[in-house]
């Protein structure tokens, strides 16, 4: 399976990082080795001093598709959840300045946290995603604020990458990204329901 991520999909988050609002989805991938195994803590890697949390809505692909039409895109999803796209912001900044690929800052071991899947087809389009750090809400967004809709994301990605059963799409983070430190406890909610809980070491 592969993990495909969308960057800058909320205008407010693009602005907080000083990025332009994109005219087409920003796409990058994480290797399957980036998945944090369930119930494991996230261990801050020794080579970064600035790991940021990014809570996101996650889509799981349920069947193979290429050049998927927007009108049929939702039928390719078989489950959703929330996840965290951990980002080594200090390293990402360096790589971006040099015009180099971001992969090391986004695809390192443990950087993809996947919550408990809620199976089934999408019954609605607006989802509230929330991240709590030490019981305080630090990120809160609604997918109605997406620059690119779920259908547009799936259609766009499938022009370049054949989507396969089990692939996971990270759909971008709302504003409020920030650093984590050892001892933090993170919890991710989808429409107020806790689907992810994680300790930082």
Residues within the interface to Zn ion (CB under 5 A): 54, 85, 173
Q: Shortest approach of Zn ion to residue 122 CB, angstroms?
A: 20
* CB 61, min distance to Zn ion, A: 18
Q: Which is nearer to Zn ion, 27 or 79 (CB)?
A: 27
Nearer to Zn ion, 66 or 89 (CB): 89
CB-wise, 54 or 167, nearer to Zn ion?
54
Please say whether the dihedral angle defined by the alpha carbons of residues 123, 125, 126 and 131, taken in this order, is positive or negative: positive
The pair of structure tokens assigned to 85 is 């796209």
62/175 with CB nearer Zn ion = 175
Which H helix or E strand runs over 91?
helix 89-97
Residue pair 96/55 in contact (Cβ under 8 Å)? The answer is: no
Cα-to-chain-centroid distance, residue 192: 18
Residue 141 beta carbon to Zn ion: minimum distance, rounded to whole angstroms? 12
Could you give the CA distance from residue 71 to residue 56 in angstroms, rounded to a whole number?
23
CA nearest to 179, candidates 52, 30, 39, 24 = 52
**In the complex, residue closest to Zn ion by CB:** 85
CB of 43 to Zn ion, least distance (A): 20
């Amino acid at each position: 399976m592969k993990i495909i991520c969308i960057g800058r999909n909320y205008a407010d988050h693009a602005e907080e990082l000083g990025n332009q609002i994109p005219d087409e989805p920003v796409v990058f991938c994480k290797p399957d080795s980036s998945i944090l195994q369930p119930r494991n803590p996230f261990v801050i890697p020794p080579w970064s001093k600035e790991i940021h949390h990014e809570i996101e809505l996650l889509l799981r692909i349920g069947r193979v598709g290429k050049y998927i039409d927007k009108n049929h895109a939702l039928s390719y999803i078989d489950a959703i959840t929330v996840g965290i796209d951990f980002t080594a912001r200090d390293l990402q900044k360096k790589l971006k300045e040099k015009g180099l690929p971001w992969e090391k800052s986004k695809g390192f071991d443990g950087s993809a946290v996947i919550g408990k899947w809620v199976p089934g087809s999408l019954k609605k389009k607006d989802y509230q995603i929330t991240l709590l750090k030490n019981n305080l809400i630090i990120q809160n967004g609604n997918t109605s604020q997406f620059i690119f809709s779920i259908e547009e994301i799936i259609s766009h990605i499938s022009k370049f990458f054949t989507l396969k059963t089990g692939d996971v799409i990270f759909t971008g983070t709302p504003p409020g990204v920030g650093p984590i430190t050892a001892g933090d406890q993170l919890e991710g909610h989808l429409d107020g329901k806790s689907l992810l809980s994680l300790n930082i070491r």
